[in-house]
Amino acid sequence: MDNSPLQVLTVPTAPYPDQRPGTSGLKKKVYVFQSRRNYLHNFIQSIFSSIDLRDRQGSTVVVGGDGRFFNRTAIEVIVQMAAANGVGRMIIGHHGIMSTPAISCVIRKYKAIGGIILTASHNPGGPDGDFGIKFNTANGGPAKEAVTNKIFQLSRTIEEFAICPGMQVDLTTLGKQMFDLENKFKPFTVEIVDSVESYANLLRNIFDFAALKEILSGENHIKIRLDAMHGVVGPYVRRILCEELGCPTNSAVNCVPLEDFGGQHPDPNLTYAADLVDSMKEGQYDFGAAFDGDGDRNMILGKHGFFVAPPDSVAVIADNIFCIPYFQHTGVRGFARSMPTSAALDRVAKATKIELYETPTGWKFFGNLMDAGRLSLCGEESFGTGGDHIREKDGLWAVLAWLSILATRRQSVEDILKDHWLKYGRNYFTRYDYENVDIDAACEMMEDLEILIAGKSFVKQRFAVGDKIYQVEKADNFEYTDPVDSTISRNQGLRIIFSDGSRIIYRLSGTGSDGATVRIYIDSYEKEQIFEDTQVMLAPLATIALKISQLHHRTGRSGPSVIT
């Protein structure tokens, strides 16, 4: 066996113009990474080059992914390039698998300089699916815009990358592996860690596991159904909820991570988690939840498939926050939601006199508030909820938060939500997704729409549908000034706000890999009519949203791909 130091090479390359990270990193079809020469290498080098060499030398970097196709291939390249770029230690999840919340936890625990997360979130996997690379910084959260812009600029001018091609890492064996590199005084260390344990230990210090065990496996336990959708959360559900908290093994389904997610779309909503919805409708389970590919999103269901809309979910957790021991100790510093998310949380914040922040979409904005000690709980309408224990949204945390509320209140999910609406009124909320729309058509539509709503005559304009009349009170392109560092984020979504507080919002999403996704969000508050069907209640506003945008005509679509 050759024990000579491994060679470090500098390889010439040419830049690509399309490596701008979105809100969730760089996402492309797998074939893009496979077929374009050095496409992966260029982006990884740009990440390392964005970190000052003095900070990089001898530093620790965490790597893990959701197990999708191309995950192991990418990890091999990342390790080889990390060593060549002066990183001292890599911490990698066992078999290369680690959930996004767990990676955030491990970055913080080991004081790493950052982490590289290999996921395309809730997008499909497999050879014909999507692959993604996201860089999280030392706080455990997604890189801020200044960092991602720097990575993008470097990717456009890159001329070479550094790599140690002879390095072979065993992802299957827990423990340390040491490598000697030429011209390096210290060996490069790769540490393969248990993907679950650090994160599970964090949860033990947040929740009352004895109370959770009682409600899940005690004398008067509830029956639950959890669907990991063949994503990364499966091993976490098995270890934490089944083995530790006593849930029957058959209450957790699709718990083996698969490279193609079993051919399914690992997106926890009513459309793609239809199997869970159907099994909940049968009435034998009291509580149900689904998770996305990388474990940061969740969907909550009650008995008979009662759906908890994500904006309601974070509002209910906020109103019952002291059911979670962690917050009894830390107190509550603030609440936050993304701008498109309904204002249900605002009503809890007002009643409890706790500061409420409205941010653009993207967890990095929440992370900045958390780092400044201003924020404890936050949520996005896109099935993301989380606390300040890490700097990512956290699907399993949200499920344990709900189970903690059930354990304390001993009511059904439906009764808890209906009590909440009786107390605060109800924000009816829906989102229409038009996926894989022609990018040029989508951009032109948004540009024309912005010109329309910016016109002086648009404000005070009235729209009538049936017996409902809505008058425009305000219309703009949402702009956010961060209260911590005063950075300004512009062009975050077109808003039309009516005199009764109802809102229509239009956004182009940054989480797709193919074409554009146009999203329409509709939010309307009702104090009296709180037990009606969401789509029926919001139908007039949906009609207005389509009329104003002419979306169907402009995109050639007759209806949305997904309604949530």
CATH number for the domain that contains residue 144: 3.40.120.10
Tally of structural domains, the chain: 3
Q: Is residue 265 a part of any domain in this protein?
A: yes
472/523 same-domain check: yes
Q: Is residue 3 a part of any domain in this protein?
A: no
**What is the predicted pLDDT for the residue at 92?**
98
CA distance to 193, 275, 328, 384, per residue, from 103 (Å)? 11, 29, 26, 16
Q: What is the DSSP string of 370-392?
A: HHTT--SEEEETTTEEEETTSSS
327/213 same-domain check: yes
State which of 150, 173, 194 marks the end of a domain.
Answer: 194
Residue 523 has pLDDT above 60, yes or no: yes
Name which of 231, 188, 252 is nearest 64 in CA terms. Answer: 231
290/432 same-domain check: no
CATH code where residue 516 lies: 3.30.310.50
φ/ψ of residue 95, rounded to 5: 65, 15
115/182 same-domain check: yes
- In the residue annotation, 524 being an active-site residue is answered as no
61/170 same-domain check: yes
414/310 same-domain check: yes
Q: Is residue 4 a part of any domain in this protein?
A: no
According to DSSP, the residues that pair with 521 across neighbouring strands are 431, 505
Tell me the torsion sign for CA atoms 276, 280, 282, 287.
positive
pLDDT tens digit sequence for 364-373: 899 999 999 9
521/431 same-domain check: yes
174/218 same-domain check: no
pTM: 0.95
Residues of the chain above pLDDT 70, percent: 99
Per-residue 3-state assignment (H helix, E strand, C coil) for 93-149: EEEEECCHHHHHHHHHHCCCCEEEEECCCCCCCCCCCEEEEEEEECCCCECCHHHHH
Catalytic option among 46, 50, 121, 509: 121
230/141 same-domain check: no
Q: Is residue 263 a part of any domain in this protein?
A: yes
State which of 365, 397, 424 marks the end of a domain.
Answer: 424
Pairwise CA distance, residues 520 & 549, whole Å: 10
Q: What is the DSSP string of 276-340?
A: HHHHHHTS--SEEEEE-TTS-BEEEEEGGGEEE-HHHHHHHHHHTGGGSHHHHHH----EEEETT
- For the beta sheet containing 468-477, the strands, ordered from the edge strand earlier in sequence to the opposite edge, are 462-465, 468-477, 494-498, 503-509, 516-526, 426-437, 562-563
444/419 same-domain check: no
Q: Is residue 547 a part of any domain in this protein?
A: yes
List of residues 6+ apart from 81 with CB closer than 8 A: 41, 44, 45, 48, 161, 162, 163, 164
Q: Is residue 1 a part of any domain in this protein?
A: no
List of residues 6+ apart from 437 with CB closer than 8 A: 515, 516, 517, 518, 555, 557
Residue type, 564: T
Q: Is residue 2 a part of any domain in this protein?
A: no
pLDDT tens digit sequence for 177-206: 999 998 777 899 999 999 999 999 999 999
400/512 same-domain check: no
280/405 same-domain check: yes
Residue 327: which domain range? Answer: 199-424
Pairwise CA distance, residues 347 & 560, whole Å: 30
State which of 405, 424, 443 marks the end of a domain.
Answer: 424
Q: What is the mean pLDDT of the chain?
A: 95
Q: Is residue 404 a part of any domain in this protein?
A: yes
Residue 514 has pLDDT above 90, yes or no: no
Residue 1 has pLDDT above 50, yes or no: no
Pairwise CA distance, residues 79 & 83, whole Å: 6
Residue 14 has pLDDT above 60, yes or no: yes
